[in-house]
Amino acid sequence: MPKLLVIDDDRAILAIAERTLSPIADVVTASTAGDGLKKLRSTPFDAVLLDIQLPDQNGLAAFCEIREYDRRIPVIFMTVEAASETAIEAMQLGAFDYIAKPLSVDPLRDLVEKAIEQRQISSVPVAISADETAADKSAELFIGRSPAMLEVFKAIGKVAKQNVPILVRGESGTGKELVARALFQHSHRADETFLAVNCAALPDNLLESELFGHEKGAFTGAESRRIGKFEQCNGGTLFLDEIGDMAPTVQAKVLRVLQEQRFERVGGNKELTTDVRIIAATNRPLEQMVSDGDYREDLLYRLNGVTIDLPPLRDRLSDVESLIRFFLAQAKLEFNKPDLEGLSPDAVKSLTNYEWPGNVRQLRAVVRRCVLDTVMPVITPEVLPTEIHNSPKSNDSTTDSETVEKSEESGTQLPQLVRRLLQERSTNVYAEAMEYMESYVILQVLRSTGGNQSQAAETLGITRGKLRDRINTYKIELKSDVVVKENE
């Protein structure tokens, strides 16, 4: 039977604890911190219930001694009033949880059961340690040992020093900006300026002015002359993210810079020259957009002379472990969690089996969230987001065709979709897969804003015009709920 230590100077509390908890644990009591610590050192315990005010020592100080002795032991604090300050302090120190007196029987039993269970599952040796030297904050490291990523690194090495435009392609969150930075750092321009512009984040007229600048009075609100990024970045490197999201006028101006290194500020007629290396990135099907008349063919050809393709994370799952190691060590330092030891083997299994629709960005966010959420030194599957913990592949139980039928909208069906398209010998796999992802993201964000398009556009980092365009394209209906219309 698991062993529980209850430290409190109130005999009534000790009696309630013994009565309530003896069916689930072997309860040992102590009425002072000194006595409790002595007992703890002589027998192994699975959890501790600790009063915050003890006669011989403050409970928080006693807690620190317990942690020094055994940092894996879950400690639940008990206190008379629900004092937020103490609760915050206790949780910051790493307490398992906090319960207010007078003790209610059911919540107390549930909490102690949970603590004992946590103690047992986190007693396994860690599969990935949180102590990695790679977490040096000063270096922005690019992680990946899979053959696909080695190809990417080789491509960066080959083209970084050539003064040509480069197009980086890949799904959102695959690391396109990191590639752009690596190209810059290894180029002859490494000591010059590097600027990044997200073309989807600004309305078309503002994007034009952001890139090329404007003259005073060029449009309402243009109260003075403004220098654009192409001018500011003279001699340096400009990273144009989401290059697919540009109005035709802007496309024409960017093409001219690429061809002649010349442009005019908005509202100006003086021709300016600039020497900027362009690195562009996109996750959009530019070829399809050219066929649909939405993108200039000549611009596409200028841009994609040299292309670097970043594979989605699900196609290089062998990189997941090293990425976790890296993000875990970073988060441990950043969130000051010195007791964090790492991830349990089961947690690693769930993470390495997941399909990662949001790619490395999603993996990074999940690891950081787990580090923040865990109260135990070892991160176990229970701490993972439910979609990962319960993902069909993590549990190896559901077949692909079942999941496609069941939840068209779950957003995790991309691999199945791609497999189906390949079986059907589709020649439009890229565009269809991109559309699937894009419609999923837009739908989810619109749902989260209750259909408010301004808020959704802001959250998505795209303009309202673009959002409206996508809503029409994907036949998203904004009624009391946000739904996708069936194809007529």
Ligand X SMILES: Nc1ncnc2c1ncn2[C@@H]1O[C@H](COP(=O)(O)OP(=O)(O)OP(=O)(O)O)[C@@H](O)[C@H]1O
Least distance in angstroms from the C-beta of 244 to ligand X:
11
Q: Which residues contact 421 (CB under 8 A, 6 or more apart)?
A: 428, 429, 432, 433
Q: Which residues contact 308 (CB under 8 A, 6 or more apart)?
A: 152, 155, 156, 159, 166, 167, 168, 169, 179
The structure tokens 């390949």 sit at: 422
Q: Does 245 bind ligand X (CB under 6 A)?
A: no
Q: In the set 59, 74, 165, 175, which binds ligand X (CB under 6 A)?
A: 175
User: With CB under 6 A as the contact rule, which of the stretches 169-177, 246-254, 330-338, 399-407 interacts with ligand X?
Assistant: 169-177
Report the residue number, 261 or 318, with the smaller CB distance to ligand X: 318
Q: Does 170 bind ligand X (CB under 6 A)?
A: yes
Report the residue number, 177 or 287, with the smaller CB distance to ligand X: 177
Beta-carbon neighbour count of residue 253 at 10 Å? 21
Q: What is the largest CA-CA distance in the chain?
A: 88
Task: List the beta bridge partners of residue 194.
Answer: 237
Q: In the set 79, 86, 122, 174, which binds ligand X (CB under 6 A)?
A: 174
User: With CB under 6 A as the contact rule, which of the stretches 80-88, 348-356, 358-366, 424-432 interacts with ligand X?
Assistant: 358-366
Report the residue number, 78 or 328, with the smaller CB distance to ligand X: 328
Q: Does 74 bind ligand X (CB under 6 A)?
A: no
Q: In the set 20, 53, 162, 172, which binds ligand X (CB under 6 A)?
A: 172
Q: Does 167 bind ligand X (CB under 6 A)?
A: no
User: With CB under 6 A as the contact rule, which of the stretches 172-180, 269-277, 410-418, 470-478 interacts with ligand X?
Assistant: 172-180
Q: What is the DSSP string of 316-341?
A: GGGGHHHHHHHHHHHHHHHTT-TT--
User: With CB under 6 A as the contact rule, which of the stretches 129-137, 203-211, 222-230, 360-368 interacts with ligand X?
Assistant: 360-368
d(CA 307, CA 166): 6
Q: Does 143 bind ligand X (CB under 6 A)?
A: yes
Number of residues that bind ligand X (CB under 6 A): 17
Q: Which residues contact 292 (CB under 8 A, 6 or more apart)?
A: none
3-state secondary structure of 191: coil
d(CA 269, CA 253): 13
Report the residue number, 74 or 144, with the smaller CB distance to ligand X: 144
The structure tokens 């398209």 sit at: 421
Q: In the set 364, 389, 393, 470, which binds ligand X (CB under 6 A)?
A: 364
Least distance in angstroms from the C-beta of 328 to ligand X:
12
User: With CB under 6 A as the contact rule, which of the stretches 47-55, 108-116, 140-148, 370-378 interacts with ligand X?
Assistant: 140-148
Q: Does 153 bind ligand X (CB under 6 A)?
A: no
Least distance in angstroms from the C-beta of 178 to ligand X:
4
Q: In the set 360, 370, 417, 471, which binds ligand X (CB under 6 A)?
A: 360
Tokens standing for 244? 């697919």
Q: In the set 176, 277, 332, 393, which binds ligand X (CB under 6 A)?
A: 176
Least distance in angstroms from the C-beta of 241 to ligand X:
5
Q: In the set 46, 51, 208, 241, which binds ligand X (CB under 6 A)?
A: 241
Report the residue number, 174 or 403, with the smaller CB distance to ligand X: 174
Q: In the set 361, 368, 420, 447, which binds ligand X (CB under 6 A)?
A: 361
Least distance in angstroms from the C-beta of 291 to ligand X:
22
Q: Does 173 bind ligand X (CB under 6 A)?
A: yes
Q: Binders of ligand X among 87-116, rule CB under 6 A? A: none
d(CA 108, CA 20): 8
The strand ranges marked E within 91-141 are 97-100, 128-129
Least distance in angstroms from the C-beta of 204 to ligand X:
19
Q: Which residues contact 259 (CB under 8 A, 6 or more apart)?
A: 302
- Residue 186's φ and ψ, nearest 5 degrees, are -100, 10
Report the residue number, 177 or 387, with the smaller CB distance to ligand X: 177
36: nearest Cα among 2, 70, 12 = 70
Q: In the set 74, 94, 144, 228, which binds ligand X (CB under 6 A)?
A: 144
**229, 265 in Cβ contact below 8 A?**
no
Q: Does 325 bind ligand X (CB under 6 A)?
A: no
* Single-letter amino acid code for the residue at 243: I
3-state secondary structure of 109: helix
Q: What is the DSSP string of 381-434?
A: GGGS-HHHHT-HHHHT-S-HHHHHHH-TTSS--HHHHHHHHHHTT-S-HHHHHH
Q: Binders of ligand X among 256-285, rule CB under 6 A? A: 281, 283
Q: What is the DSSP string of 225-262?
A: -B--HHHHTTTSEEEEESTTS--HHHHHHHHHHHHHSE
d(CA 117, CA 104): 20
Q: Does 142 bind ligand X (CB under 6 A)?
A: yes
Residues near ligand X (CB under 6 A): 142-144, 170, 172-178, 241, 281, 283, 360-361, 364
